[in-house]
Amino acid sequence: MTTSTVPMITPGTAGSARSSKARAARLVQRQGALVILMIAMVVSTFAFDSFGTRGNLVSIAVQASFLAVVSLGMTFVIMTAGIDLSVGSVFALGGVLAAWGSQYGTLVAVLLPLAVCSLIGLAQGLTIARGGLPPFIVTLAGLLFARGVLLLITDEGSTTYKVPVGSSFRQLAQGELLGVPYTVWIVVVLFLIGGLILHRTSYGSTVLAIGGQEDAADLMGLPVARTKIIAYVMSALLAGLGGVMIASYTSSGVTILGVGLELEAIAAVVLGGTLLTGGAGTVLGTLVGVLLLQVIKNVINQVGALNSNWQAVVTGTILLTVVTLQQWLTKVERR
């Protein structure tokens, strides 16, 4: 008579295995974009002679800085399980207002667009948080409103406001500190502040709690409405700041800028590991997502046989892949 030994799995062992899978899923979800970015940069450096040059890397950083500022605000909105479709139009409006205001001095060029864009964000935040309307509808209306105002003040795009030659406002995006463009320094400072707000303040904790389960956050007595309003004001304010930066960089206010920028910002945030359903994410991940998108654009430009339309094709493919992967990893993490 033979006996067989059946290995026994204790509850602790099974729980440990599940915990390990959850940690691995969480790690891939949050750091996957960083790994892809590093691989893309290494491969591109060997594949293209000009990619790893200082000039090209600085160009990538500068071009990414405008999207990065907008994406930072989008990060907080998406973390609350919201969305802001108006940032592209608000970005363009901020740029035109900055260019127009530059004739009255740098202070007006900076403060005017920030004030106007913040008011748009406040109106959207109040409508969403107090009125209970869906963010998609409200911010879509905000997109149309901002774009309409933009067309009105530029006579349907026929008027282009120029920043006066010699204006100190040009230095905001064209100047350098220690060999690094001001726009890059602005992004570094803003993301440091964003990280501190998210991880070191009660506001950041409330943002994540709302995204995780809004009803539970409300029952806990957290300031749900106020937190949402601040998130939308912050998103519009940073979109306006991005417009200020691009106006300084191009020395003009161009109405066609910002078209589709809201989709790029959403893509960067999602690529960086922030869940579209809210409740999880990091600002550093968003910065990685922005850089990954910009590296992809730069690489496509390096390949002479491909035109710029491939940027949208590649970005869309990567975004769909990442969202699908996020859904799967979330299920693994919750098992």
Q: How far is CA 35 from the centre of its chain?
A: 19
pLDDT tens, 251-290?
Answer: 888 888 888 889 889 989 988 888 888 878 889 989 999 9
pLDDT of residue 128: 95
pLDDT of residue 64: 93
Predicted confidence band of residue 1 (pLDDT cuts 50, 70, 90) = very low
pLDDT of residue 235: 96
Radius of gyration of the chain (CA): 22
- Lowest average pLDDT, out of 12-21, 143-152, 181-190, goes to 12-21
pLDDT of residue 45: 87
pLDDT tens, 311-335?
Answer: 667 767 776 776 677 666 666 655 6
Residue 129 scores a pLDDT above 90:
yes
pLDDT tens, 34-57?
Answer: 888 888 888 888 888 888 888 889
Contact 194, 68 (CB under 8 A): no
CB within 8 Å of 29: residues ≥ 6 apart: 273, 280, 325, 326, 329, 330, 333
pLDDT tens, 226-261?
Answer: 999 999 999 999 999 999 999 999 988 888 888 888
Per-chain mean pLDDT for the chain: 84
Predicted confidence band of residue 25 (pLDDT cuts 50, 70, 90) = low
Q: Name the percent of the chain lying above pLDDT 90.
A: 45
Sign of torsion over alpha carbons 221, 222, 226, 232: negative
pLDDT tens, 80-89?
Answer: 999 999 999 9
Instruction: Say if residue 102 is exposed, middle or buried (CB neighbours under 10 Å; 0-12, 13-18, 19+).
Output: buried
66 token code pair: 């405008």
What is the rounded (10 degree) CA torsion for 217, 219, 223, 229?
A: 60
